[in-house]
Amino acid sequence: MTRGPMTRPPRPAAATGSTGSTGSTGSTGSTGSTGSTTTLDVRGLRVTLPGTARPVLDGIDLTVGSGETVALVGESGSGKTLTSRSALGLLPPGATTEGTVLVEGHDVLAMNADRLRVLRTDTVAMIFQDPRAALNPLRRIGDFLTESVCSARTGDRAMGRATATARAVELLDAVGLDDTALKKYPSQVSGGMLQRVMIAAALMGDPALLLADEPTTALDVTTQAEVIALLARLRERFGTGLLFVTHDLDLAAAISDRVYVMYAGRIVETGPAETLFACPRHPYTAALLASTPRLTTPGGRLAAIPGQPPDLRTTVPGCAFAARCPLATEVCDEHTPAPLQVSEGPVHLAACHHSDRLIGEGSAVDA
């Protein structure tokens, strides 16, 4: 049966079989997904790489609901990319894992190569930072768009060339491009157009989950805004869950329903975007906000966060932020803080022994 280009198909048998399935679709997850069903549910994910003294991801709990936009923010090296790639089963060679990564209820970490291929074609798609690096310069854009659903799919999941082309044209239209793009080579279009092509390509398989890892970093500011607006519209139109990885806190606040803040391989704070940015309850979130330039405070001093995150070759007995934290006390050096609910209402967790001291501070903690 041929499906219409804009409808979500039933999930393919190969991605919904029993192997590796550990949970039921539709749980709300423990970390506050606001979508009607939980598309991505990462529970206690611990990833250790060869040659490191501590896990590179250390007990990540994260959910993305269907149709929900969730931002993952944090400094370089905090583990944002590894966390998002875990939803594709793409972890570095030699990585050992604990915990589960459920996509629509099925454990990605337990999938064999065939099921991972199906997952990556049909259920989860990723938009990369640099579209030019992700495209073959010798292939036309039309071929790039259609080949994933034509050649990577087999049996009754395969899409005919004509159907795939029709879908490509419809998706190009959805991202603001016309069908002349099909015949062009990547070198013949601008970076902004190419990122739109990447977004269209990501939607070709009608994914339940879209991973966008710094998708606008390589673009100029105007094009960035266009691409962000486009992603928001598409998310609404297709009901896709979106995990948006960024360094940019203002962007995260503008685009997302909920935010996760990562530091040194852990989630240190999570909550609704509005609450978390208005009333951060972890000193690292507060320091990140204080170091973000704002139009409302022109000429104001930006508080750079002193020091560096701990090296992966060292173990950290207490809070990983202690060496940089203005609120640190003895207990912080000795005991790793667990994430605790810090405000009334929706899930808002902070992993800090002294999160109470931030009540009423806004982002005023001067790191």
Ligand X SMILES: Nc1ncnc2c1ncn2[C@@H]1O[C@H](COP(=O)(O)OP(=O)(O)OP(=O)(O)O)[C@@H](O)[C@H]1O
Contact set for ligand X, span 304-333 (CB under 6 A): 312
Q: Which of 128, 244, 260, 321 binds ligand SF4 (CB under 6 A)?
A: 321
- Indicate the residue among 41 and 213 with the shorter CB distance to Mg ion: 213
Q: Which is nearer to ligand SF4, 19 or 329 (CB)?
A: 329
By CB under 6 A, tell whether 283 contacts ligand SF4: yes
Contacts of 332 (CB under 8 A, 6+ apart): 318, 319, 322, 325, 353, 354
Q: How far is CA 31 from the centre of its chain?
A: 15
Distance between CA atoms of residues 162 and 232, nearest Å: 28
In terms of CB distance, is 244 or 321 closer to ligand SF4? 321
Question: Using CB under 6 A as the criterion, what x/- string covers residues 239-278 for binding ligand X?
Answer: ----------------------------------------
Structure tokens, 193: 């157009």
With contacts defined by CB under 6 A, name the span among 80-88, 175-183, 326-334, 353-361 that binds ligand X: 80-88
129 binds Mg ion (CB under 5 A): no
Query: How far apart are the C-alpha atoms of 98 and 338, rounded to whole Å?
Result: 18
Query: Does 46 sit near ligand X (CB under 6 A)?
Result: no
Applying CB under 5 A, does 163 fall inside the site for Mg ion?
no
When asked if residue 354 is in the footprint of ligand SF4 (CB under 6 A), the reply is yes
Angle between helices 141-150 and 161-174 (to 10 degrees): 120
Q: Which does 82 bind (CB under 5 to 8 A by kind): Mg ion, ligand SF4, ligand X, none?
A: ligand X
Both tokens assigned to 68: 């929900």
Question: Cα–Cα distance between 236 and 346 in angstroms, integer?
Answer: 22
- d(Cα 33, Cα 68) in Å, to the nearest integer? 8
Task: Give the range of 13-21, 78-86, 221-229, 349-357 binding ligand SF4 by CB under 6 A.
Answer: 349-357
Query: By C-beta, is 300 or 326 nearer to ligand SF4?
Result: 326
Q: Is 78 in the site for ligand X (CB under 6 A)?
A: yes
- One residue of 21, 27, 28, 81 binding ligand X per CB under 6 A: 81
Q: Could you tell me the smallest distance in angstroms from the CB atom of residue 25 to ligand SF4? A: 35
In the shown chain, the binding pattern of residues 53 to 72 toward ligand X, with x for contact by CB under 6 A and - for none, equals: ---x----------------
Q: Identify the DSSP state of 297.
A: S
Number of residues that bind ligand SF4 (CB under 6 A): 13
What's the closest the beta carbon of residue 340 comes to ligand SF4, in angstroms?
A: 11
Compare residues 162 and 340 and give the one whose CB is closer to ligand SF4.
340
Token pair of 142, please? 């039309």
* Among positions 319, 347, 349, 365, the unique one binding ligand SF4 when judged by CB under 6 A: 319
**Nearest C-alpha neighbor of 354 from the set 263, 284, 278:** 284
Q: Which is nearer to ligand X, 92 or 326 (CB)?
A: 92
For the residues of 347-366, what is the DSSP string, one character each? --EE--TTGGGGTTTTT---
Tell me the helix, strand and coil percentages in the chain, rounded to 5.
Answer: 35, 20, 45
In the complex, least distance from residue 314 CB atom to ligand X, rounded to whole angstroms: 12
The edge-to-edge listing of strands for the beta sheet with 124-127 is 124-127, 209-213, 241-246, 69-73, 258-263, 266-272, 349-350, 340-341
- Give burial (CB, 10 Å; 0-12/13-18/19+) of 133: exposed
For residue 313, the minimal CB distance to ligand X (Å) is 10
How are beta strands 258-263 and 266-272 bridged, if at all?
antiparallel
- Residues near ligand X (CB under 6 A) are 49, 56, 74, 76-82, 92, 312
- Residues near Mg ion (CB under 5 A) are 80-81
